Structure 1
Amino acid sequence: MATLGLSEADRKAVEDFRQDVVDPSRNALVIVDFWAEWCGPCKQLAPVLEQVAAEYEPKGVKLVKVNVDENRFIASQFRVQSIPTVYAVFQGQPVADLSQARTASQLKQMLDQILAQLPIESEEKMQAAEIAPLIAMAEEILEGGDAERALSVYAQIAEMAPDNVEVRAGQARAFVALGQLDEAQAVLDAVPEGAGHDALLERARAALSLARDAKPVADLSAVQARVAANPDDHAARFELANGFMANGDRQAAADALLEIIARERDWNDNAARTQLLKLFEAVGLEDPWVSAQRRRLSAILFG
């Protein structure tokens, strides 16, 4: 923004704009709100902008207000013809016109789209990079069967990132593995709606649902005998599958559920398929074991 030939006041306005907007926008997204004291719609929009900017500050967003009556040259450079006019600025350049956003949800939707496409440096990204190896370690410990130690690691990470959904989902799964189902439910209930990471949360919820359905059974021989005596006793085989799940034998559980589906796929309003899909969710849809069982299920349904 050239300053040659400008008045002293305009030169100061340009310098202030450079300090307040251009320089911070090198690594952050700056929302520039062009407004005036006499503008009613500006005053209505201001609380929305302030609320969202405060919420998105950890994501690398900053709000700067520019009074057009006091900064006519700046407003002219941005070709402001009516107010409120709101721009998103990154690396000194307008990257989006946010003027049409009038509600917090509209503004958040637009900001989410912009932030997903720009290399913004933010507290969230730095924190995510810092805790990623710790989450991977906790997950490895949990998958290895040491749920108590995994829960301890997740608790330490939660102190660093109390709102991290991935951590909360891991904590819930660790509680489930320890049989502390009410604690797992409390963790999941505390996650706000729209927090993201839906797949991770669904995995934890599926694990919790399975744990509530399936009670550990010390001796499955009686129900196994019922299945052996009558292979079409699907209720007994379903009970056997839940017993296997509760005892940690996911392969035997999947075998039993797939056998029910093969014999009577719609039995009990698709109870076996529903339970099998919960098992897939709990294990993790990207897990190679789940992929193998899905292929078995497809062969039964479409073979």
Structure 2
Amino acid sequence: MSGMQPAAEHLRGAIDLSSLVNRGTAPGGPATPAATSAPGAAASSGGAVIDVPSLVLEGSDANFSQFLDLSMQVPVLVDLYAGAPTPGLSQIVESYGGRLLLVTVDVTTSVQLRQAFQVQSVPAAVALIGGRPLQLFAGALPEDQVRQVLEQVLQAAAQSGVTGTASATAPADDTEPVEPPLPPLHAEAYDAIEQGDYPRAITAYQTAIAQNPTDKMAVAGLAQVSLLHRLQGKTIDEIRAAAAAGPTELDAQLDVADLDLSGGHVEDAFDRLLTLFETADADDRNTIRTRLLELFEVAGLDDPRVVRARARLTNLLF
């Protein structure tokens, strides 16, 4: 999905993002960080050890300013996603032993951050160095490529004087939480996603569902990776041009709905398909309904926007 990577522009929003400035992005594929000194960054970092609850933190519209402050001392990687964080990214960041922090942001619920970062496709990664943003890459990359980009981020951070280290605070009971291992087919799907092999991930999730139709994680995972697969290799301009040229062309409208949802325009995606549903014939209605159900899974079934769209779909069906 690197062809859908937007150019970095003003990162402004209703929240306090006044310290963020324009930064350039290399067209197509991962960016190569250029060292740019942030005012006061060297003085504020000094290689200090910064206590944090975890090396992987959840960001939102409400708390994001604290991560801008942290980036004055430790480089921060921001994972912009829809529905579920980018698989494998947290493990990669944790392997750096605190030289980096990871902040995950669900752009379907953090609307101000989606607008501030001008998110047009997900997943996407941005670095914060000294309070300033640097867009890195869009889409899922193999681990070795992700590490190459992060090494460049660390080099840029060092040249900007951002050389602190984050130290995760131990739990109060001094016991490390143990996450249960993923089921084999889920683990296979995650590995495939990390490698950008979406068809293999789809097959793994489909097999998991065939074995256990009540596997909600597999159903949600299948919807998410199917969305990524449908958008892979397509550009924003191509998708929107086709939709504008064919307002009644079903495939074109399905594509632009996928694009809207991936960019956080959840209500726009639902409204487009529900409006199309009203005048569609029986076969097209079935296709639209199936796509809507998939997009509901991606956005999250408890999302109020999903609840409203599902109610509207029910009214149209009956």
TM-score between both structures, scaled by the size of structure 1: 0.40
Higher RCO, 1 or 2 (CA under 8 Å, sep at least 6)?
2
- Which structure has the larger Rg? 1
Higher helix fraction (1 or 2): 1
